[in-house]
Amino acid sequence: MGINITKSDVRWSYISLFLFNGINVLLLPFILAYLSSSEIGLWYTFTAVAGLVILLDFGFMTTLSRNVTYVWAGADDIVSSEFKKNIKQDLGPNYTLFVKLFKTTKLIYLLIGMLIFGILLSIGTYYIYSVSKNDISMTTVMVSWLIYASAVFLNMRYAYWNAILKGIGAIKENQQLLIITKLVQLIFSILFLILGYGIIGVSVAYFISIIINRILVNKYFYSYQNNKTAIKPLLIQKIDKKEYLILLRKLLPNTYKQGLISISNYINLRSTTVVSSAFLGLNVTASLGFVLQVFTLITVVANTFFNTFLPQFSSNRVNSQYNNLKSIFKKALLINYIITILGFAGFILTINIFLDLINSDVELLPMPVIIVIMIYMFLYNNQSIFTAFNATKNVLPHYKSFFISSLLVLGLQLFLLYYFDATLWSLLLPILLVQLLYNNWYWPYLTIKELRSYKSSDK
């Protein structure tokens, strides 16, 4: 029984996206209005530092979701690379193997969560202090940071639940959960901002939303299909320690590759905020973080259709359904391009009106800088879509070039910032130019070549 994404799943993905990111848009004016430019820069630094530490997940979440999909499609084993095709069609989920994978995952995320929390409290706290000591009250900084760090720990400790929901094809349920989580964060954030709690209030609101998410996700999982009756009895059974190690050895090869890809994505898309706060100050970081947040929102909207079908792409491969695989991918790509181009154009036409309307303290970046950010984000997002599609084969040939190029980007950025005038161009041009040399064009070309090689009929 392969995973089949329905119109309802797609509809809920767009509803979730609209509300989830619409809530971000609704929250943004309150943050811009009630927080100072320094506090806004600090908030973006919070999220960037937490994002850096979360890389200690090292790609396991993506690897987990993909392997859950294979098991749910009826695979009788997990392999280190590629996957085993189903000889028989319409197989049901392999519940026994799923439970083994589930228990192994719980143990791994407990260890990851503890490690992340330790780093946030030590290195993270020192960095936050060093970039904000001259701009904001240390009491405000430390209290808000400790609350935010605790929320990040809880989020990572139970992060496997959302990966599992996506992996088994419970797209609608996962999107409903995200909507509720974000609504809670929005309501409490606005309330605390109006009451004058500032960045501390925003951190508390995020903490509350994570608790609500983790309470509800368990309920959503066991109410999906017949999971309560099929899986709960199996959870009682003990698993030999050797089986944990066997599963871990099978997951690790692609996990470390996915981890290097995650590090690369962070350097190219998010590390600029961390580096900016260190070299250019919180006010410039606020402007850069605002633009990056809006453009990230646009690409998230553009990627929604594609991401919704990722579990089905993996299932199609297991069951050799190549016609369906190609047609849906082409449709997803077209939708992505249309939304991205329209979104970027809309930003240029309306952003000044928006900032004037809310009387924000944040200054807009110069237009040439904004255009360069648009170009590199479009090209980087495009290569990421093609490589993510390729990864549904459970192979990650792009990990080396992604990682090497990201190190080149970071090295060039630091070199330019140290030895030349510290400007935004020192941050942005290395990303654009290094990726243009190889990744921007090679991986789309390779994937298109592969798609053309598939047979014209499904099995």
pLDDT for residue 268: 80
- Domain boundaries in the chain? 7-453
pLDDT for residue 254: 67
pLDDT for residue 312: 79
CA distance 308 to 319: 19
CA distance 308 to 303: 9
Six-digit token string for 45: 């630094």
Q: 181 near 209, Cβ under 8 Å?
A: yes
pLDDT for residue 357: 72
Per-residue pLDDT of the chain in tens (459 residues, 90 and over written 9): 455 666 666 676 667 666 665 565 677 778 878 888 778 778 777 877 766 666 666 667 777 777 887 787 777 777 665 555 554 555 678 888 888 888 888 888 888 888 888 888 898 888 888 877 777 888 888 999 999 999 988 888 888 887 788 778 777 788 788 888 888 988 999 999 999 888 899 899 999 999 998 888 888 888 887 888 888 888 777 777 777 777 777 777 667 777 788 778 878 877 787 788 778 877 777 788 888 888 988 898 898 888 888 877 877 777 777 888 888 999 999 999 999 999 999 988 887 777 767 666 667 788 899 999 999 999 999 999 999 898 888 788 888 999 999 999 999 999 998 888 888 898 889 989 999 999 999 999 999 988 888 765 454
Nearest to 163 by CA among 80, 106, 230: 106
Measured CA distances, 44 to 131, 207, 210, 275, 289 (Å): 12, 16, 18, 12, 6
pLDDT for residue 235: 79
Nearest to 311 by CA among 298, 328, 290: 328
pLDDT for residue 211: 92
CA distance 362 to 28: 12
CA distance 398 to 383: 10
